[in-house]
Each structure stands twice: as C-alpha cells, then as structure tokens.
Amino acid sequence: MGMLVSILIGALAGIIAGKLMNYGFGLIMAIVVGVVGGFLGSWLFSIIGLPVSTSFWGQLLVGTVGAVVLLWIVSRLKKK
C-alpha cells in the first residue's frame, strides 16, 4: 500500500508542479517528475533544516516543491 500512496502523491505533485511551471505532460511523466521531485524536495528540506512531515499533505508539499525545482532546473538546461 505504501508504494501506491507514493505513486499517488508523486502524480499529484507532478501535476501541480506542471501547472505551476506551465509544463504539459501526461500522467506517466507527472508521476516520474513527482517522485523524483519528492526525493529532491526531501533532500533540499533536510539541507535547509526544515522538518519533512510524514502526513499526506506534508509529503505532497515536499514533492511539489521538489518537482517545481526539478522543472526549473530542466527549463534552465533546455535554454542553453
């Protein structure tokens, strides 16, 4: 059940980040962006010293922040 919840949170985080950053992609790419964003967000939050919540909403926030950062990095690399 934990893997299914992680995929759901990743998909939601990827979709939200895609809307915030004006990226259009499908469900599979949203899941990938959200899951990678979750790892990136957790890493960034730990570096900054912010606690990472284990609640659904906390994980969604961390995943979305990480996914937005990931999409921002990708957009900067694409412009070069």
Inter-residue contact 60 to 37 (CB < 8 Å): no
What does the pLDDT read at residue 47? 92
Q: What is the CA angle 27-42-56, rounded to 5?
A: 60
Inter-residue contact 56 to 9 (CB < 8 Å): yes
Instruction: Tell me the average confidence (pLDDT) per consecutive run of 10 residues in the chain, 80 residues long.
Output: 83 93 86 91 91 87 94 86
What does the pLDDT read at residue 80? 64
Residue of 68, 48, 60 whose CA lies nearest to 12: 60
What does the pLDDT read at residue 4? 87
What does the pLDDT read at residue 53? 78
What does the pLDDT read at residue 70? 94
What does the pLDDT read at residue 79? 75
